[in-house]
Chain A
Amino acid sequence: MSVTSGPASRRLYWPAQMQRNRGVRGLFVVVALFVALYAYLFPGLLTVGGVSKFAQSWFPLALVSMSQALLMLTGGISLSIGATVSLGAVIAATTMTGPLGVVGGLAVVMIAGLAIGAITGVIVVRLRLPAIVVTLAASFIIGGAALLILPRPGGAIPTWFSDLLAGNTPAALILLIVTALLWKVYLATPLGLSLYAAGENPVGAYRGGVPVDIARIAAYAISGLLAVGAGLFVAAQTGSGDPVIGTAFTLNSIAAAVLGGVGFLGGRGTMRGAIAGSLLLSVMINVMFFLGFPPVAQYVAQGLIIIGAVALPEITGRRGPR
């Protein structure tokens, strides 16, 4: 496939990018405002240590949001992301201090993520079962497996590895940037190109020769990899494993993706939107802390901000010249 190059696609590329940004431009503004407000309330954010610590809080959510957005772009969804995060965390915490070492542990975690994702993908795609049901069932199986590996919170991550990923260095931010760049690279590959087509119009894409099934299964596999990656990072960040640490990530990943303009029906949305959505969810927690909101007001404020961020592009979009 040589669809990536050639003058025709070049001419289409930038207008298409701008078009895709339209829905999330409002979100970008809101996110920028919140980050600025956070930096104003907590000037320490603008130091290496401050950025590092904040990026560490944000990074796992950003990864699971990408993991979820990837599936939603293909018209799928996953309710097992939280359990997969937990599994990644407990595998890391039980292998890395053992004979396998850090490298071996990393490999086991990544293989587990890819395998879980691929199996889920094959079941959803080949058996034509609804993703929401399959991944709900998978969440019980994966969550159960995490509890079997580590029934109670425990395990350990070598201190040097924890300090490397989640010490006073911006390692998390760098990893996030690298992951986002890898996503760009993936989109340029035939499978990556097929992703949007498979999500937006699977029948048309199939007739057009796009390997729809393979693209969707690959999306599930990569999604699994991103989720266990988040688990691995949480384990490094906390220095241990907890078999239920990931639970909240399932809903938060969907919230971040939807906030970022990723549609439930597939083919609509962008990864940058999902990442921005996750940043908003994460920065909001800190901003409300520094504003001194009492917890009850935080619930209300969170809801209002989310509705506002989703509504803003609609409002500005209608009034805009286009």
Chain B
Amino acid sequence: MLKSSLKAATGAACIGLFACMGLASQAQAAANCIDGKRQPPYTLGWANIYSVPTWMKQTEGTIADEVEKLKAAGLVDELVITDAQGDANVQIQQIQSMIDADVDAILLIAGSSTAPARVLEDACSKGIAVINFDSLVDTDKVTAKINTDSNKWGDSAARWLIDKLGGEGKILVLNGPAGISVSDDRRAGANAALAENPGIEILAETNTAYNVAPAQEAVTSLLFAHPEIDGILSLGGALSAGAILAMDKQGRDMVPMTGENARQFLELWKEKGLSSWATMQPNWLGAFAAYIAVKALQGEDIPAFVEVPLPIIDDSNVDEYLARAGDFPADGYIFSPWDEALFADIIAGSK
């Protein structure tokens, strides 16, 4: 349905022959939304939905770092930052202000998967590069969307755990909040692997916020009910940290466990001698968005969707992550190293 309406829109845009030819010739080279009229140095706008959580602060930090590099290269002169304080309506208003101020690119994590669609289409029609990452908007009128695959997250985690257990064992499944797309998608991703391995028995599942305390509480009560647990399929970093703390308090032996790059989890992993596996939603998606915005403005062909491969942390490289722990906030996320060469590789891989 989306495709047909897109076709209709293109048809409507092709009123004059020249317009059609213009569209056709541009589609070969430039990325979506780019009209080729904007010259460096560019002004980038970072339309943040909420700046308070640590993950957001770290993400903003990577954007600022990348912008410094782009400034040094003479490609960017200013980074404008807004904070919608969690209100999707305010985010729309701030994006409108960015359009009014004629920024060259808008980077955003959307506060609603539908609400910003129209204002972004407006930005796109004015030749502004629109780069959407992490929380995506249901519209094609953006330059590029950047994200990891939550289904793969769940699938890889489940396969690692099943492999570790030799295809047999009793496990707990720790989920994020019910009804949240990230949480639902990660859990759905694990289904195929679990179905293929009937030897794996799910003792219980939890749904808690992505925080240590509620996860610890939930796991504690499950530990009383289940004296024998062989593994824990945790689909969030803070959830894993909570599970370790709960098991440690009761003096239970640690079992293989999956997780995410939360610093607290990685430190407990090492401290308690676990065998674990973790992936991440890298904070450098922000830096990557800034990088892609400038590349697109310079006329480079950027795929409409850039899938970022999930970086993997396991027993073999967790020490490398922990060695850098001091550079990250105590309640933050130790993300994998990034540079522009990595970004270029990912773009090439998405084409």
Contacts and interface: CB of A to CB of B under 8 A. Distances in A.
A153 B115 contact: yes
Interface in A17-56: 42, 44-45, 50, 53
Interface string A281-322: 010011001101011101100000000000000000000000
A152 B179 CA distance: 9
A245 to B, nearest CB: 6
Instruction: Identify the interface centre among A239, A245, A295, A299: most chain B CB within 10 Å of its CB.
Output: A295
Interface string A147-169: 00001111100000010001000
Contacts of A241: 114
Contacts of B181: 152
A289 B81 CA distance: 8
Given A60-B89, A245-B88, A295-B82, A238 B116 contact: yes
Contacts of A155: 114
Instruction: Identify the interface centre among B48, B93, B113: most chain A CB within 10 Å of its CB.
Output: B93
A293 B88 CA distance: 20
A254 to B, nearest CB: 15
Contact of A238 (B80, B86, B100, B117): B117
A60 to B, nearest CB: 7
Given A240-B117, A241-B114, A290 B89 contact: no
B178 to A, nearest CB: 11
Contact of B118 (A60, A154, A238): A238
Nearest to A53: B96
Instruction: Identify the interface centre among A162, A247, A248: most chain B CB within 10 Å of its CB.
Output: A248
B253 interface: no
A242 B100 contact: no
A234 interface: yes
Nearest to B137: A153
Given A151-B179, A245-B112, A289 B94 contact: yes
B90 interface: yes
A80 interface: no
A296 B100 CA distance: 22
B114 A234 contact: no
B217 interface: no
Is chain B's interface secondary structure helix, strand, loop, or mixed overall?
Answer: mixed
Nearest to B50: A295
B51 interface: yes
Is chain A's interface secondary structure helix, strand, loop, or mixed overall?
Answer: helix
Interface in B70-104: 80-83, 85-90, 92-94, 96-98, 100-101
B198 to A, nearest CB: 32
Contacts of B100: 42, 44-45, 50, 53
A285 B92 CA distance: 11
Nearest to B184: A152
B89 A289 contact: no
A53 B92 CA distance: 11
A168 to B, nearest CB: 10
A240 B114 contact: yes
A242 B83 contact: no
A94 interface: no
Nearest to B118: A239
A153 B112 contact: yes
Contacts of B85: 248, 299
Contact of A242 (B48, B86, B90, B115): B115
A42 B101 contact: yes
A240 B115 CA distance: 6
Nearest to B96: A53
Contacts of B115: 153, 234, 238, 240, 242, 245
B114 A282 contact: no
Interface of B: 48, 51, 80-83, 85-90, 92-94, 96-98, 100-101, 112-118, 138, 179, 181
6 contacts: A57-B89, A61-B89, A242-B112, A285-B94, A289-B97, A290-B101
The 5 closest A-B pairs by CB, nearest first: A295-B83, A240-B114, A248-B87, A153-B114, A238-B115
Given A42-B97, A282-B93, 7 more contacts: A152-B181, A166-B118, A240-B115, A240-B138, A244-B112, A248-B89, A289-B94
